[in-house]
Amino acid sequence: MRDAKKPSLETRLRLLNTHPFFAALEPADLERLSSYVRSVQVDRGEILFRKGDPGQSLFIVVEGLIKIGVPAADGRELVFNLMRAGEVFGEIALIDGAPRSADAVAMAPSELLVVERRDFLPLVEDRPGAAMRIISLLCRRLRTTSEQVEDVAFLDVSSRLAKALLRLSPTGGYVAITQRELGQLIGLSRESTNKQLQVWQRQKLLRLVKGGVHLIDLGTIEQLAFSAERPRQPRAEVASRAH
């Protein structure tokens, strides 16, 4: 991670003001905070922080793609989220000052704004409106994580994969993600992910390209994601009922 030239004040204010995490701040406070932020650049594959690292800052993605996840001892990885331009991550550690709860790795060359905890907390301590917006954002993140867990437990492979592709590119077009990374996002092996993608490529729903996927038939992919039949029971629940 290396320092980069700061975007203009107008760009910094726009990035801060359009996100719920900061939008409740008074204009003067927002301008003050924007003067503190610094800009950094990271290369693809570069680690911003590891789970357990000290957490004293929040990141705003100016451009690029950041993967948030946790590794297992056997080499597998559980991916919680993929953060794109305009999105914020690292907010949990910013609020409580505790160690990082996950890894953050750049999936593409990325530019980020960094907000330090020491600069942010004084601006919200006496502002209930800002605090409520932060709580709302954290609740939304929790709901997203809960939905991902439900998808892995209940949905079949095609539905999980279709939902992930739509989440990555809701309007269609190119998705910059490897098949291994896509599988990690939905709890599948690369082989299972590739098998389903190959089927959809033959059906002309998408096209596999180097380093990503190009979505073609967005309507059918939406049907696969949201018109699934009754959710399947988790294997553990099925097994328990068999006894």
Q: Please name each of the domains of the chain with its CATH number.
A: 2-150 (2.60.120.10), 156-241 (1.10.10.10)
Nearest-5° angle of CA 128, CA 132, CA 138?
145
For 4-33, b/e burial (b = at least 16 CB within 10 A) is eeebeeeebbebbeeeebbebbeeebbeeb
Q: How high is the pLDDT of residue 84?
A: 85
Structure tokens at 173: 């077009």
Stated pTM of the model: 0.69
Per-residue pLDDT tens over the stretch 61-92: 999 989 998 887 777 777 888 888 888 898 88
Give residue 228's pLDDT. 57
- Tell me which amino acid residue 127 is: R
CB-count burial class (<10 Å; 0-12, 13-18, 19+) for 232: middle
> Taking residues 87-116, what's their average pLDDT?
88
List pLDDT tens digits, range 157-204.
888 899 889 888 877 788 888 898 888 888 888 899 999 999 999 999
**Residue 166 contacts residue 222 (beta carbons within 8 Å):** yes
Mean pLDDT of 203-210: 94
pLDDT for position 234: 42
pLDDT of residue 203: 96
pLDDT at 219 over 50: yes
Round to whole Å and give the CA distance between 149 and 76: 16
- Residues 223/224/226/229 CA torsion (nearest 10 deg): 110
pLDDT at 230 over 50: no
